[in-house]
Amino acid sequence: MEPVYILGGSRTDFKRNLKKEGKTIRHLIVEAGRKALEDAKIDAGEIQAGAVGNFNSGQFTKQLQLGAFIPEIDEKLRGIPTMHTEAACASGALSVLLGAQWIMGGLYDAVLVVGAEQQKTMSSLDGSDVLGAAADYHNEKPEYGDFMFPKLFGKIAQIYIDKYGAKEADLATVAWKNYAHAKLNPLAQMRDADLTLDCASQVSDKNPSVAPPLKVSDCSQITDGSAGLVLVSGKYLDKIGRDKKTTPRLLGFGHTTDYLPLDKKDAPTFSIARKAAEHAFGMANLKPRDIQGADVHDCFSVTEVVVYEILGLTEPGKGAELAKSGATTLPQVRNEKMKGKFAFEIPVNPGGGLIGDGHPVGATGVRQVVEAYQHLTDQAGARQIPNAKRYLTFNMGGSLTTSVAMLWGRD
């Protein structure tokens, strides 16, 4: 198959409120797309196709047909084929995968991928109902009621705690870590927020319980944002004379779909999600210890803990211990209690993840790949992972219904 490279990447400031700015999702798509093209340093006329990842703009903004905003990025894009991908919170990763597969199959040599979501358009109660469409809405809504997703993941957290003896305070380590990482990210939604480990560990007026054992700090953010990527073939890189050795490349991927309702899945093992990770590592001929960094889906703190085990970073039941050890925390923010030598170090969510950086649902999977691109090209600033050559992204939708794992690297 034709190799796939990242030629450019971009993202917006996730702290913004588009409604207050008088802007809409069209502006998010256009902004991220233009910035990605600028970063790639190629003419828009070179792009042969476009993909837009978005979850539920029809309900959040009353706007669909999002591929039609691609030509507004540049008039030279008018007439190219575009597609919109949707798989709940994995919508963005699917748009990346779609663009990559177009290139792998030899259909196109240059593809523009944009992920976008505008969520700050309604009350939190109404917004949570819109997000509920990512679950088995007509069956799970009567059982879980309002704010379905915190309750669904609260149940996953309780299953995990009951099975493995983990503690609520263990989950708080993930929240603390990702807030601390976000402070190193100038575009993160929570970059100005302070969260101590004590605060993250205890229910309080500042950090109330949402869906026991989950507290507010255990939850990802309601976010407006977008991200963009320019994906190209190896042939195209040769044509324009770019160095393949220093340009990040897709090494392997896995994509699986489980049953929609949580009670039909094998929580907290999630064997179907594990298959996505196994496929990615197998295609890349790599093992978990071969990667230097990862961006994983931390819609709630327990999700990151479970994903450690899904990815094989640690054995079943040891995810909470891995979080507490500091092995997934950037050295520059590691807590003094975490000092010591580790068998391995893999900083996870160095930009803050969904909890710290923000979670504009349809953009998240694309943003993760932009984060990978920045680390692999030494453009991550204060949060840079030194000498990163292999980077993993794991984006999932629903209660681990759709799972997409991708491995990226440079020589």
The residue ranges of every structural domain in the chain are: 4-122+222-240
- Residue 29 contacts by C-beta under 8 Å, 6 or more apart in sequence? 52, 66, 69, 70, 72, 73, 114, 116, 226
85 has a pLDDT exceeding 80: yes
The predicted-structure confidence for 169-190, as pLDDT tens digits, reads as follows: 999 999 999 999 999 999 999 9
Q: Are 265 and 153 in contact (CB under 8 A)?
A: no
DSSP letter assigned to residue 246: T
Residue type, position 139, single letter: N
339 confidence band (pLDDT: 50, 70, 90): low
366 has a pLDDT exceeding 70: yes
Identify which has the larger pLDDT, 61 or 338.
61
On whether the 4-122+222-240 domain is CATH 3.40.47.10, my answer is: yes
Q: How far apart (Å, rounded) are the C-alpha atoms in residues 8 and 75? A: 19
Q: What percent of the chain has pLDDT over 90?
A: 97
As to burial, measured by CB atoms within 10 angstroms (0-12 exposed, 13-18 middle, 19+ buried), residue 22 is exposed
335 confidence band (pLDDT: 50, 70, 90): confident
Q: How far apart (Å, rounded) are the C-alpha atoms in residues 393 and 408? A: 8
Q: How far apart (Å, rounded) are the C-alpha atoms in residues 273 and 310? A: 7
The predicted-structure confidence for 256-270, as pLDDT tens digits, reads as follows: 999 999 999 999 999
211 confidence band (pLDDT: 50, 70, 90): very high
Helix 91-104, helix 361-376: angle, nearest 10: 60
